[in-house]
Chain A
Amino acid sequence: MQYQWDFAAVWHHIDMLIVGLIGTVELALVSIVLGVIVGFVVALMRLSHRRALRTPATAFVEFYRNTPPIVHFFWFFYALPIVIGLSFEPFTAAVLALSTQSGAFYAEVFRGGIVSIERGQWEGAKALGMNYRAVLRRVILPQALRRMVAPFVDRSFELTKTTALASSLAYAELLYQAMQVNSITYRPMEVYTTIAIMYFIVLFAASNLMRLVEYRLSRVG
């Protein structure tokens, strides 16, 4: 079968795809920032001696690690508004789903980094009269953060790919915009190939850039 490629049709609507790309980047950045905050709090809860803090944090992490992201998207968009009595914009629901889900994964990154620092350092710093917060901020985190860069980058990379699911809530990110362009041009082959290449370029460039940062950081230590 001979197929006539027609990328001109897609090129004609490239502005729509650019809007989508910006939507994807926005969603990813906001969710990464919020996810890191959620993750840090959950990690401290998981490391706490108090069971009342530890148990819910563990349940939170296990729940998110063992259920599919698409369920979270739909749950936040269709189910949560019923409980709290107000509805969300697709963007808000997507940010909630992505930042809580990635928060569970970031929590494991933080926890892994913190427990990788030997116990003796906590005890030593305590012996010098430092309190919990001072030890964490001045002794543990500066060392742990460097070790967390690689898993943190991996997680953010996964999160960025997951933003495509927001298309199912009609949030105007790259995949959703591609669907719109497709319904105008009837050129699925060109449209979906184009956005696959766009995703590839962005993700491939971002992951190589981060690998460079990672390499630099590992040499500083």
Chain B
Amino acid sequence: MEYTWDFKVILDSFPLLLRGLVVTIELWILAFAIGLSLGFAVSLARVSSRGWLNGPAIGYVELFRNTPVLVQLIWFYYAFPIVLGAQLSPFTAAALSLTLNTSAYCAEIFRGGIVSIARGQWEGAKAIGMTRAMTMRRVILPQVLKRMLPAFTNRGIELAKVTSLASLLAVNELMYQGRLLSSTYYRPLEILTVVALVYFVLIYPGSYLSARLERRLAARD
């Protein structure tokens, strides 16, 4: 079968795809920034020796890690407003669920880093009169942040890919624009291939960086 590619369609749809790309990046930055900070807070609860902090934190992390992201998105868009008593916009629902999902994974990365430091350092810092917050900031975090960097970059890459699911809630990001355009022009082959390439160009630098970082850290150890 001979198929004639229509490249003009790609040129025509490019401005809309770029508009979608901007929304994708907005969603990505928002969810990653808040997800990281929230994840840190959750990891502190997770490493706490108090049961009422530790228990809910475990539940939170396991819940988000053991259900599909798409189900979480759908739940926050269709079910959560009922508890809340107010409708969420698709963008808000997507941003909220992606943020919480990312925070659960980031909490595990932070926790892994924190518990990798020998207990003796906590005790030593306490012995010289440092508070727990101070020990965390001056002793523990500076040692582990570098080691956690590849894991966080990987999380960032996963998140960038997962933002595409927001298209199923009709958030007008890249994938949504791609689907809309491919049904308007009836040219799914050209447009969906270009959408895949745009994602690749967006995400590949991150994973290249992460692979290099991992190699450098491995060489140093």
Which residue numbers of A lie inside 8 Å of B, CB to CB? 1, 3, 62-63, 65-72, 74-75, 78-79, 82-85, 161-165, 167-168, 175, 182, 188-189, 191-193, 195-196, 199-200, 203-204, 207
Does the CB pair A189–B188 fall under 8 Å? no
Q: In whole angstroms, how far apart are the Cα atoms of A192 and B195 in the complex?
A: 30
Expressed in whole angstroms, the minimum distance between the Cβ of A80 and any Cβ of chain B is 8
Expressed in whole angstroms, the minimum distance between the Cβ of A24 and any Cβ of chain B is 9
Given known A-B contacts A68-B161, A78-B182, A78-B188, A207 and B196 have beta carbons under 8 A apart: no
* Interface hits, B104-158 → A, CB 8 Å: 157
Q: In whole angstroms, how far apart are the Cα atoms of A168 and B170 in the complex?
A: 12
Expressed in whole angstroms, the minimum distance between the Cβ of B162 and any Cβ of chain A is 7
Q: Which residues of the other chain, B, contact A196 by a CB distance below 8 angstroms?
A: 67, 71-72, 75
Q: In whole angstroms, how far apart are the Cα atoms of A165 and B68 in the complex?
A: 9
Does the CB pair B1–A188 fall under 8 Å? no
5 contacts between A and B (CB under 8 A): A70-B167, A71-B195, A175-B68, A188-B82, A200-B63
Among B70, B85, B189, contact of A82 (Cβ-Cβ < 8 Å): B189
Does the CB pair B162–A68 fall under 8 Å? yes
Tell me if B74 is interfacial: C-beta within 8 Å of chain A: yes
Does the CB pair A70–B175 fall under 8 Å? yes
Q: Which residues of the other chain, B, contact A207 by a CB distance below 8 angstroms?
A: 66
Given known A-B contacts A75-B192, A82-B3, A165 and B204 have beta carbons under 8 A apart: no
Nearest CB in chain B to that of A69: its residue: B161
Q: Which residues of the other chain, B, contact A79 by a CB distance below 8 angstroms?
A: 188-189, 192-193
Does the CB pair B192–A74 fall under 8 Å? yes
Count of residues in B whose CB is under 8 Å from the partner chain: 42
Given known A-B contacts A71-B199, A79-B192, A66 and B71 have beta carbons under 8 A apart: no
Which of A67, A82, A85, A200: most chain B Cβ within 10 A? Answer: A67
Does the CB pair A67–B193 fall under 8 Å? no
Q: Which residues of the other chain, A, contact B161 by a CB distance below 8 angstroms?
A: 67-69
Q: Which residues of the other chain, B, contact A72 by a CB distance below 8 angstroms?
A: 196
Does the CB pair A85–B62 fall under 8 Å? no
| Per-residue A-contact encoding for B187-208, CB less than 8 Å = 1, 0 else | 0110011011001100110010
| Per-residue A-contact encoding for B155-196, CB less than 8 Å = 1, 0 else | 001001111110110000001001100100000110011011
Given known A-B contacts A67-B199, A84-B1, A200-B63, A188 and B165 have beta carbons under 8 A apart: no
Given known A-B contacts A67-B199, A68-B175, A74-B188, A83 and B67 have beta carbons under 8 A apart: no
Q: Which residues of the other chain, B, contact A165 by a CB distance below 8 angstroms?
A: 70, 165
Among A85, A175, A193, A199, contact of B1 (Cβ-Cβ < 8 Å): A85
